[in-house]
């Protein structure tokens, strides 16, 4: 699976500066593979549903409620619905698998 993800990520076009995404829609879940360049920041935003992320590569810092929490390869990140947060790539290339229930 890890090699398949690397192959998928290598072919993704950018959809905004420093962040690459691929969306696959299933019957019950939306899935996004996020490739975030070094030192890039995903600005503060919310989701109207609970979101889960798995860190495939790199390290992420999630800022929420004025606090930053670090996550590394192999960690799961849970973001509750309607909670403001931002994502900071604190090192090399960051790859996240993100999914949420429709």
Q: What is the pLDDT of residues 42-101, one digit of tens each?
A: 999 999 999 999 998 899 999 998 899 999 999 999 999 999 999 999 888 898 888 888
Contact (Cβ atoms closer than 8 angstroms) between residue 51 and residue 42 = no
Confidence of residue 37 (pLDDT cuts 50, 70, 90): confident
CB distance 45 to 91 below 8 Å: no
If one counts every other C-beta atom within 10 angstroms of the C-beta of residue 95, the result is 22
pTM, 2 dp: 0.75
Whether 14 shows a pLDDT value over 60: the answer reads no
Quick one: pLDDT band at residue 15, thresholds 50, 70, 90? low
């Amino acid at each position: 699976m890890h090699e398949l993800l690397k192959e998928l990520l290598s072919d993704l076009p950018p959809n905004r500066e420093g962040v690459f995404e691929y969306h696959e829609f299933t019957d019950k879940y939306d899935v996004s593979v996020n490739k975030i360049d070094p030192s890039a920041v995903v600005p503060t935003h919310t989701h109207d549903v609970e979101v889960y992320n798995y860190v495939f590569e790199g390290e992420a810092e999630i800022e929420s409620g004025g606090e930053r929490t670090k996550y590394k390869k192999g960690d799961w990140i849970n973001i509750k619905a309607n909670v403001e947060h931002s994502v900071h790539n604190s090192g090399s290339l960051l790859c996240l698998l993100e999914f949420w229930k429709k």
